[in-house]
Chain A
Amino acid sequence: MDAFDLPDVAWTPVSPRLVTARRLALLLPALVPLVALVVLGVVLGGWWWWAGAAAWAAWGAWLWGLQARQVRAVGYAEREDDLLLRKGIVFRTLVVVPYGRMQYVDVSAGPLDRWLGIATVQLHTASAGSDASIPGLVPEEAARLRDRLARRGESRLAGL
């Protein structure tokens, strides 16, 4: 059994639109060197340029495919008193954030995110270590989560 699949926890996945967002964000920085390598290959000749371009393209393709798996690995679960959040495939993390420890909640969305209709909800505690951001939420869900977290945090408020 996988230790990161806690018993009695129903994980909520995030929107698959996050895959598109991450792939698009990947595209530009990946394409510029690729084009440069191809142009150099055409202009200067020599197989190594093409080899470099191929390697770069392969790397990009792998990352492209990885995004889908990574997004599938993101999940959160609202429990009675805390929020669970898990992430990652190769380096996996699982965070438990008690509602009573929440200091504030951020909802953010970049231009690409807005275009695709997703947002990120981030919980902040008094600790810098608790990195609890949930990417790829549809705006309604993000707003609902934000309000719900804020309400729960209020009702379970403890100082520090």
Chain B
Amino acid sequence: MTSPQAGAEAEPGQEQEPGREPEQVQEQAGAGPAGEAPWRRLHPVTPVLRSWRVLVVLLVLYGQQRGTDAVTGGGADVPGHLELLIALGVLAGAVVVSVAVSALAWRMTRYQVDAEAVRLHTGVLFRQQRSARLDRLQAVDVVQPLLARLLGFAELRLEVAGGSGSDVRLAYLREADAQRLRNALLARSAGLSFEGEDAPEAVDRTVLEVPLPRLLGSLALSGGTIALAVFLVALAVAAVLADAQVLLLGAGPAVLGVAAGLWTSFTRSASWRVAVAGDGLRLRHGLLETRTQTVPPGRVQAVRLSQPLLWRRAGWWKLQVNVAGYGGASPSTGGDSSLLVPVATRSEAEEVLALVLPALLDPLRDPLPDPLPDPAQPDAGAAFRRDVERGLDGVGEDGGWLTAPRRARRLDPVAWRRHGVLVTEHALLVRRGRLGRQLDVVPHERTQSLGLVQGPLQRRLGLATLAAHSTPGPVSPTAAHLDAQVAASLLQEQAARARRARAAAGPERWMESPRTPPTEAGPAPHAEPGEG
């Protein structure tokens, strides 16, 4: 549906009142001026689903306390009737209080979606009204924690580029509603117009599924596991030498810690699936809590391919991305959303890279108007693939890489020949690492700013470190120990190149771009009379 633009930014009148009549806003009943999108509520089951966590936390706390008591001998081994009664009472009370508080919060929460923005009003004592513009939408995630998933509910997270805590979270909606809303948001964000409430779902095509054995293998060969193994062996040797088996008890916390970390990685990465759809890249993953991330085209700011030393034999690579809005997310607040593929083979990694940054490969989607795509050049992708190949495991200056000069070996004797930058037509490639390898790819039009840093030792050797600044996230491309003069001129050139690429870059509403060819999956592009 299309609402008049004039009314879109104005807050509806009744929202200013600290009104306690929630029924008024129920569905269309309290809608403001004619044509205004209705204010909606989240699903009434929300308080229960939210309170579930309180129960789990309390149970875990209680269990821990009991466990500690049993070990230290502070309490009876088996809880008595009275203790059980008290525990149950406390538990029930906490759950009731939690549900009541959540219910109050639920009553005060409502959201509105129109052609321009999503608005969310929350808060009981401290009110918050948040409005996220759809053309600034960076990613849309559908998250289903275990219980919600079993009951058929989902949380919708809209990421906008406002740093940590700037996302709009709609929890919980019916799963089907969440999907519908996601499709509608993405379509509107793309600048498509469609009839009625429901946007047609973009059909997706699976590109890659991470097989379970590979995932397990990659976890077994991860740094944490190896460190644990070394630690355990050292501990065992020490215990035998000192003839003190007590030492082995000390391994307990370490084993638990590493195991918990591995378990988290495993459940998060299990059944990892990458797909492309008309509205962007889809990631679907998770064993217990499932998560479907949709990143529209052009929202990926930078990509990192990395390979720990132990993955080299298997030829595995991990892919991470910078997406504005994902950057602030820490593992504790819902996992590392920046992970693109936990473990991919080399060819898969290259394929996904090409999908994420299609402009790099496809001359049709060339964001630069000049030079015009050369028809004599049959495969623009081949050159890029070759560059990526060299970036992944190349050393030295083959293929036009600009590497650290020989004198840099005094600062970095191992990896100096590997440190390097390559400027292609569309992107800046930065590689580093001799043992664990890394390659960062930043499209020119996504460069935020550029920096040159020089420490005292580097100054003596005439070296400098070049950094391309990207939005917050795991990818921070820096090329260490380049020749200072070369780095300085590269900085200048790169600034000019980024400016040109930016001027030619597509619009925020990606479907409005006249140059973008219609994808087979997406509906026909239909330009909306939007802002310039």
From known contacts A6-B488, A94-B491, A100-B499, infer whether A130 and B456 are also in contact, taking CB-CB under 8 Å: no
From known contacts A1-B485, A160-B161, A160-B471, infer whether A93 and B453 are also in contact, taking CB-CB under 8 Å: yes
**Contact-size category for B:** 35 or more
Contact residue among A95, A158, A159 (Cβ-Cβ distance under 8 Å from B449): A95
Binds A, one of B141-149, B329-337, B462-470: B462-470
A92 to B491: give the CA distance in the assembly, Å. Answer: 15
Within 8 A of B (CB), among A95-136: 95-98, 100-101, 125-130, 132
A81 to B450: give the CA distance in the assembly, Å. Answer: 13
Contact residue among A82, A93, A94 (Cβ-Cβ distance under 8 Å from B499): A82
B168 within 8 Å of A by Cβ?
no
Within 8 A of A (CB), among B476-527: 476, 484-485, 487-488, 491-492, 495, 498-499, 502, 505, 508
Q: A82 → chain B, closest Cβ, in Å?
A: 6
One digit per residue, 1 when the CB lies within 8 angstroms of any chain A CB and 0 when it does not, for chain B 427-448 equals 0000000000000000001111
Q: A130 → chain B, closest Cβ, in Å?
A: 4
Q: Which residues from chain A contact B459 at a C-beta distance below 8 Å?
A: 92
Contact status B502-A126, CB under 8 Å: no
B324 within 8 Å of A by Cβ?
yes
| B491 and chain A: residue at smallest CB distance | A96
Contact residue among B448, B464, B484 (Cβ-Cβ distance under 8 Å from A126): B448
Within 8 A of B (CB), among A3-54: 3-4, 6
A125 to B470: give the CA distance in the assembly, Å. Answer: 9
Contact status A98-B451, CB under 8 Å: no
A129 to B484: give the CA distance in the assembly, Å. Answer: 20
A91 within 8 Å of B by Cβ?
yes
Q: Which residues from chain B contact A126 at a C-beta distance below 8 Å?
A: 161, 324, 448, 471
Contact status A3-B499, CB under 8 Å: no
Contact status A130-B452, CB under 8 Å: no
Contact status B469-A98, CB under 8 Å: no
Contact residue among B469, B485, B502, B508 (Cβ-Cβ distance under 8 Å from A3): B485
Contact status B472-A127, CB under 8 Å: yes
From known contacts A3-B487, A132-B449, infer whether A91 and B499 are also in contact, taking CB-CB under 8 Å: no
Q: Which residues from chain B contact A158 at a C-beta distance below 8 Å?
A: 445, 502, 505
Q: Which residues from chain B contact A93 at a C-beta distance below 8 Å?
A: 451-454
One digit per residue, 1 when the CB lies within 8 angstroms of any chain A CB and 0 when it does not, for chain B 182-212 equals 0000000000000000000000000000000
A105 to B488: give the CA distance in the assembly, Å. Answer: 26
Contact status B485-A91, CB under 8 Å: no
Contact status B469-A125, CB under 8 Å: yes
Q: B14 → chain A, closest Cβ, in Å?
A: 32
Q: A118 → chain B, closest Cβ, in Å?
A: 24
Q: B524 → chain A, closest Cβ, in Å?
A: 24
Q: Which residues from chain A contact B449 at a C-beta distance below 8 Å?
A: 95-98, 101, 125, 127, 129-130, 132
Within 8 A of B (CB), among A41-93: 81-82, 90-93
Contact status A130-B451, CB under 8 Å: yes
| A84 and chain B: residue at smallest CB distance | B495
Contact status A130-B469, CB under 8 Å: yes
Q: Which residues from chain B contact A94 at a C-beta distance below 8 Å?
A: 451-453, 488, 491
Contact residue among B301, B469, B488 (Cβ-Cβ distance under 8 Å from A4): B488
Of the candidates A81, A92, A100, A126, the one having the most CB atoms from chain B within 10 angstroms of its own CB is: A126
Q: 24 A-B residue contacts at CB 8 Å?
A: A4-B484, A4-B488, A6-B492, A91-B455, A91-B456, A92-B453, A92-B454, A93-B454, A95-B451, A96-B450, A97-B449, A98-B448, A101-B449, A126-B448, A127-B469, A127-B470, A128-B469, A128-B472, A129-B448, A130-B449, A158-B505, A160-B301, A160-B446, A160-B471
Chain A to chain B: the 8 pairs with minimum beta-carbon distance, closest first: A3-B484, A129-B469, A130-B449, A127-B448, A127-B469, A94-B452, A3-B488, A97-B449
Residues of B within 8 A of A (CB): 136, 138, 161, 299, 301, 324, 327, 445-456, 459, 462, 464, 467, 469-472, 476, 484-485, 487-488, 491-492, 495, 498-499, 502, 505, 508
Residues of A within 8 A of B (CB): 1, 3-4, 6, 81-82, 90-98, 100-101, 125-130, 132, 158-160
